[in-house]
Amino acid sequence: MRHQVCIIGGGPSGLLLALLLHRAGVDAVVLERRSRDYVLSRIRAGVLEQGLCDILRKAGVGARLDAEGFVHDGTLLVAHGRRLRVDFQETTGKTVTIYGQTEVTRDLYAELDRIGAKVIHEAEEVAIQDADTEAPYVLFTLNGEEKRVDCDYVAGCDGFHGVSRRTIPERLRQQFEHVYPFGWLGILSRTRPLQDELVYAGHERGFALCSMRNARLSRHYLQVPLTDTVEEWTDEAFWAELRRRLPPDLAEVLEIGPSIEKSIAPLRSFISEPMSWGRLFLAGDASHIVPPTGAKGLNLAASDVWYLSQALIARYAGEESLLRDYSAKALARVWKASRFSWAMTRLLHSFPAEGPFLARMQAAELEHLADSHAAQTSLAENYVGLPY
């Protein structure tokens, strides 16, 4: 088979890229290793920057987002005796929207089905060939039979463990990584959210986050050692620890209930450069991972997809400069967003091995935030999303 663009990975970034390209008349096929049911079962973040919301609307999949998403004008930080609400709307004129990543993926699938775009699931043993030539192609196995896609360009949206990044010769890749000495234990529960906006809590026992998916579905997190396992944490133990890490008035009104999903995710910062090689272009987790503290994972993938879609569309209109500049442009935003995620993680988590100095610096930083409108504006600008 032949398509202009072969997209590896059928998560939200790959599906969004396919939809944007199809809207502009560029033919793309998506290869996804897992089944559609598996993709839709993934529990992921749901804080969408205004830029991502705008992209989804431009792609024609904003109706349910606008009808069901929860618009947040700010967020609450509580730590070191301080309680600070950062007002996004007042400082930046922008907002974020709470809308689950699974719902974004569902909307993208529905629209791609409607327009007849090709998404091939359970494509195994994917191999990208001749990416550094003018005639790249992709091999894969489907139902035990080898298949081939000839294409002009390959877009690697297949995540950290995918084949795309590893296709770029190791001698040409420069990788930067920081692994944090803890993870996030998260639960999903059919309970009322703690507040109308997210609550980020720093505590000497560790970080906590109270988030939500909708008015009756909450997502809460605790900082835990990497040695902990899900089996060690009963629902009762989780709720008791979350209450310990919240101010008493918030702990008192926290609604608890049985978990319907529970997992532990390690935290890391990772960036691989460059994001292109020949006719292969990386987007999202295939090139970079951020800790979830700043809610940048999906949003950063979306900005990659926006840059790449516009560059490919321009290429088929006869303009090649955007494609040549894609890696540098995307990486500039990647590094800035990664800095913000790193800074938020350092500000709010407990690092016992680093001693009392860091804790005092965290307290001083929060005091500075509380006293400085400029500092709050800077935090808000990064949280709602830097311009594309």
What are the tokens at 36?
A: 């559609």
Is 121 assigned a catalytic role? no
β-bridge pairing 174-189 and 5-8:
unpaired
Neighbour tally for 274: CB within 10 Å: 17
Contact present, 258 and 189 (Cβ < 8 Å): yes
86-89-92 Cα angle (round to 5): 90
CA–CA distance, 99 with 57 (Å, rounded to integer): 14
In the set 288, 296, 329, 349, the catalytic residue is 296
In the set 99, 109, 200, 307, the catalytic residue is 200
Rounded to 5 degrees, φ, ψ at 387 are: -60, 150
Rounded to 5 degrees, φ, ψ at 183 are: -130, 180
Q: Which amino acid is present at 111? A: E
Q: Which residue has the tokens 């598996």?
A: 38
Segment (H or E) for 272: strand 259-273
The full DSSP string for 101-150 is: HHHHHHHHHHHHHHHT-EEEES-EEEEEE-TTSSS-EEEEEETTEEEEEE
Is 316 assigned a catalytic role? no
Is 99 assigned a catalytic role? no
Residue 189, Cβ density class (10 Å: 0-12 exposed, 13-18 middle, ≥19 buried): buried
In the set 12, 136, 291, 292, the catalytic residue is 292
Residue 85, Cβ density class (10 Å: 0-12 exposed, 13-18 middle, ≥19 buried): middle
Rounded to 5 degrees, φ, ψ at 341 are: -60, -40
Q: Which amino acid is present at 313? A: I
Q: At what angle do helices 321-348 and 297-316 cross, to 10 degrees?
A: 170
In the set 72, 80, 220, 288, the catalytic residue is 72
Q: Reading across the β-sheet that carries 5-8, which strands appear in turn?
A: 118-121, 28-32, 5-8, 153-156, 280-282, 276-277
CA–CA distance, 193 with 218 (Å, rounded to integer): 5
Catalogue the active-site residues: 72, 200, 292, 296, 383
